[in-house]
Amino acid sequence: MKIKESIMIRHVGPTAASKIMFALRPDTVAPWDATIAQRTTGGTKSQHFAQHLTTARLWATSTLDEAARAGVAHIPTHVGRPNSSLAKIYDEWQYLTITRNAPAPPPTATTQRTPTITSTPLTPRHVRDRPS
């Protein structure tokens, strides 16, 4: 009697893959979930993830430029998340406003205040992946 060997093949889906890449590169890869993928790019295929990364990079670049003009040296600290990367802040915003469907909070005195100009410049960690 011949016994067939059973081979179990596991697949990693697109959202799990994005989370793995985020774990490996937390400063550069913004994770996503299926709801974010569908709402922001229209799907979960590789071209949709590439579009997600491009959009996240444009958001980060724009945010870094605006922070530099306002004299904000470290955005995560400025928003009360000193140990988070911009990719994680972007992910959390999308998770709250898209996946959880939470309304954007109204501007507060904290978000409307004029940023304090500090003597600490943006460090390479925060700008190393900015496009030229």
Q: For residue 132, tell me if it sits in a domain.
A: no
**Within 13 A of 63's CA, how many CA atoms are on the CB side?**
18
Gyration radius from the chain CA atoms:
19
Q: For residue 114, tell me if it sits in a domain.
A: no
Q: For residue 126, tell me if it sits in a domain.
A: no
Q: Which two tokens stand for residue 7?
A: 């081979």
Q: For residue 109, tell me if it sits in a domain.
A: no
Q: For residue 20, tell me if it sits in a domain.
A: no
Q: State the sign of the Cα–Cα–Cα–Cα dihedral 116, 120, 121, 122.
A: negative
Q: 91 vs 124, which has greater pLDDT?
A: 91
Residue 87 has pLDDT above 80, yes or no: yes
Q: For residue 17, tell me if it sits in a domain.
A: no
* H helix and E strand count, the chain: 7, 0
Q: For residue 58, tell me if it sits in a domain.
A: yes
Q: Where are the alpha helices (DSSP H) in the chain?
A: 14-24, 34-41, 46-70, 75-78, 86-94, 109-112, 124-127
Model-level pTM?
A: 0.69
Residue 38's domain spans which residues? 26-104
List pLDDT tens digits, range 36-83.
Answer: 999 999 999 989 999 999 999 999 999 999 999 999 999 999 989 999
